[in-house]
Amino acid sequence: MTPTDWADLTSWKRREAHLLGPWAMHSADSAGRVHLEPPHPFRSPYQRDRDRIVHSAAFRRLAHKTQVFTGNQGDYHRSRLTHTLEVTSIARTLARALALNEDLVETLALGHDIGHPPLGHAGEDTLAELLAGEGGFNHNAQALRIMELLEIRYARYPGLNLSREVLEAQATRKRDGKAPAPLLETQAVDAADSIAYDTHDVDDAIELGLVSLEELLELPLVAEAAARSDDQAGSLDDATLRRAMLHELVDLQVADLVAESRATIDRLGIDSVARVRAVFDGGDGGRGVRVVSHSPPVAAGKKQLEIFLFRRVYRSDRVMTVRAAAQEKLSQLFHWYAAHPDELPARFRARAAEWGVRRSTADYLAGMTDRFLEQDHERRLC
């Protein structure tokens, strides 16, 4: 291999030009950062963004934040961090299969849940209720707040100073109608997130005894995945079938997504980022198309599965009992800090003058892990 060949392999601009489709977001076309920085000699802008997220305090805390089931229900189930890593794995597969920018996809996947407070959606619902009429609380908006303001990594400015495309993607996830139409990389991460939580919440729910494998096999999508497992390995015992079925459930959804998305790219003549945005916005004959999407049969099967999980798992008596007790502690601690703002850490006190005591209190509580919330509640209120 000649020196020129090596240069082609090590230059991210040349590599992306060779590997990415015209519909992908090429790093060379990035709109840059809010605070200008010199380029790195061998890392693309999105590689640097990925590293900034991985090295952030908010990312590390995901290891001890609830996905669906709190820690006192066992150790098998997913944390917010393991969910994030599973989303990232699926998203990178989608990106490579669709010739998208893998570095950007990985960055978006790793950062998509850093705004989650302790206690998962239970914590989010509690903070949203406490801040009703004051802007509310949403984990996607909080992630953007962390990226732009709360995470302190540089002396000259707040936030992580991520590329504008990363910030745009997170703003898109807020779904407030103000962000531009999502890039295909953003759409791929949203799809990977859906696949991950649909499939892995099934695994956790079975492990915790909230549902049985037999009940799940009544759902068409799960039954199809199980049938594929049997076809490949013969008749399986329940434990082996469960593991094989979960694998097939992911593979089935990913394969369908790739096939359907490629067909949509061809059908609509998607040949640029501008075209991606146009068909999503409904212009140019696209009728509001999300390019990275499932076929109607798989989409219908996913909807049935999600309805089942909502009714039987997320709103089960066992989960709701634990949820209510945890929410009460979070609410009590919020009111305590709002009444004692001098007890907030210095940087949150400093921001209270601009953002208000209640918003700064929510910022502080949202950054806590489940374990720290429990310990702080005991220290302050017991």
pLDDT in the model for residue 164: 97
pLDDT in the model for residue 208: 80
List Cα–Cα distances, 125 to 80, 128, 370, in angstroms. Answer: 16, 5, 15
CA 16, 18, 20, 21 dihedral sign is positive
Answering whether pTM is above 0.75, one says yes
pLDDT in the model for residue 318: 85
pLDDT in the model for residue 77: 57
Which string of DSSP letters, residue by residue, matches 270-299? --SHHHHHHHHHTTTTT-S--SS---HHHH
pLDDT in the model for residue 192: 98
Alpha carbon 283 to chain centroid, angstroms: 28
Mean confidence (pLDDT) of the chain? 90
Read off φ and ψ for residue 159, nearest 5 degrees: 80, -175
Residue 125 identity: D
Hey, what domains does the chain have and what are their CATH numbers?
Answer: 30-381 (1.10.3210.10)
Whole-angstrom Cα distance, residue 189 to residue 219? 25
Q: Enumerate residues 6+ apart whose C-beta is below 8 A from 114.
A: 53, 56, 58, 59, 62, 143, 146, 147
pLDDT in the model for residue 153: 87
Read off φ and ψ for residue 194, nearest 5 degrees: -65, -45
Task: Please identify every stretch of the chain with a pLDDT value under 70, giving residue numbers as ranges.
Answer: 1-10, 67-78, 174-177, 231-237, 283-287
Query: What is residue 112's three-state secondary structure?
Result: coil
- Three-state secondary structure string covering 318-374: HHHHHHHHHHHHHHHHHHHHHHCHHHCCHHHHHHHHHHCHHHHHHHHHHCCCHHHHH
130-140 residue pLDDT tens = 999 999 999 99
Whole-angstrom Cα distance, residue 91 to residue 85? 10
Nearest to 355 by CA among 168, 173, 149: 149
Whole-angstrom Cα distance, residue 340 to residue 334? 10
How many CB atoms within 10 Å of residue 95?
Answer: 25
| CB-based contacts of 155-159 (< 8 A; 24+ apart in sequence) | 156/35, 157/34, 157/35
pLDDT in the model for residue 341: 96
Read off φ and ψ for residue 55, nearest 5 degrees: -90, 5
Written as six digits, the tokens of 250 are: 């992911």
95-130 residue pLDDT tens = 999 999 999 999 999 999 999 999 988 999 999 999
Q: Which element (helix H / strand E) includes 22?
A: none
